[in-house]
């Protein structure tokens, strides 16, 4: 692991720098990463401070990869030129700090600055990730079961006014309420393609379903441009069925299912279960 000891990774003295990739680096001493020239930034499996959030100030950024940051998830400043971003968060160990909500572990007053129960009022900016990502045209958002950052950001959910393609994992489809998924769909007015990778890391999935909307009964809560919805999973179990049922509330239909059965009959049985239970899918040869 490479350790950076400076508290500010100021790259303004490198105006020709367009690409920066840091993998498995210790950035726990870095409070700010700033560059006006940087176009492409990749931070993969990097360690950040466990008690103070690092700020990323890269206004000219076109693409961002923030892959499994350890410690406190860095805060993203405005990126008006952003075209695409991949963000995958991880659950932190409560014993060492990071993005932890005290209320989830005990009845003590919370000091996380993220939840509604926090006893510390932060008068500054509230959004950690979503506001900085709001100008992107393509997003991949992989959350974790903890979801504290996403839940916090959605309280002040921005409008994703340019977002055309969005990929989400199953943690956006919690069976209790689907609030996170409903919120981001309602705040993406020009979304054209939505993809779900459910309950599997991929990239290869056994079942792929491609859906479209009933134009006569389209919900006014989602983008009128949304024409493609893909659901990818290894098996169509009860969890996937719940996601499909929720999508059906937006009048989403599935005219096709692509399956790599590999001689496994339960896959076919599961698809027929969908047909019998919710009548959403027609199998095509």
225-237 core/surface letters (b: 16 or more CB in 10 A; e: else): ebeebbbbbbbbe
The strand pair at 207-213 and 252-259 is best described as antiparallel
Q: Is the pLDDT of residue 284 over 80?
A: no
- How does 114-144 read in b/e, with b if 16+ C-beta sit within 10 Å? beeebeeeeeeeebbbbbbbbbbebbbbbbb
Record the pTM: 0.82
- pLDDT tens sequence across 64-101: 999 999 999 999 999 999 999 999 998 755 555 567 66
Q: Which 3 state secondary structure label does DSSP give 216?
A: helix
pLDDT score at 261:
40
Do residues 213 and 194 lie in contact, with contact meaning Cβ atoms separated by under 8 Å? no
> How many other C-beta atoms lie within 10 A of the C-beta of residue 272?
12
Pairing of strands 228-233, 207-213: antiparallel
Q: How confident is the model at residue 159 (pLDDT cuts 50, 70, 90)?
A: very high
Q: What span, in angstroms and rounded, lies between the C-alpha atoms of 26 and 5? A: 9
pLDDT at 11: 87
């Amino acid at each position: 692991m490479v350790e950076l000891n400076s508290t500010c990774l100021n790259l303004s003295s490198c105006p020709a720098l367009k690409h920066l990739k840091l993998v498995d680096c210790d950035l726990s001493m870095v409070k700010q990463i700033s560059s006006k020239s940087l176009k492409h930034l990749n931070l993969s499996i990097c360690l950040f401070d466990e008690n103070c959030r690092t700020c990323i100030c890269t206004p000219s950024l076109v693409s961002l990869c923030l892959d499994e940051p350890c410690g406190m998830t860095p805060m993203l400043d405005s990126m008006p030129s952003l075209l695409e971003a991949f963000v995958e968060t991880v659950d932190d160990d409560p014993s060492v700090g990071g993005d932890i909500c005290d209320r989830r572990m005990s009845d003590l007053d919370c000091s996380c600055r993220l939840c509604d129960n926090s006893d510390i009022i932060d008068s500054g900016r509230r959004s950690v990730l979503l506001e900085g990502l709001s100008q992107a045209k393509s997003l991949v958002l992989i959350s974790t079961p903890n979801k504290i950052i996403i839940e916090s950001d959605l309280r002040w959910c921005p409008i994703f006014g340019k977002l055309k393609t969005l990929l989400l994992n199953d943690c956006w489809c919690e069976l209790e309420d689907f609030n996170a998924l409903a919120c981001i769909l309602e705040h993406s007015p020009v979304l054209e393609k939505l993809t779900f990778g459910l309950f599997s890391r991929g990239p290869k999935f056994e079942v792929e379903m491609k859906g479209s909307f009933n134009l006569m009964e389209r919900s006014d809560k989602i983008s009128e441009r949304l024409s493609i919805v893909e659901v990818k999973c290894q098996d169509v179990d009860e969890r996937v069925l719940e996601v499909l049922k929720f999508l059906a509330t937006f009048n989403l239909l599935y005219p096709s299912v692509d399956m790599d059965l590999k001689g496994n009959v339960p896959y076919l049985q599961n698809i027929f279960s969908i047909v019998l239970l919710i009548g959403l899918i027609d199998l095509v040869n």
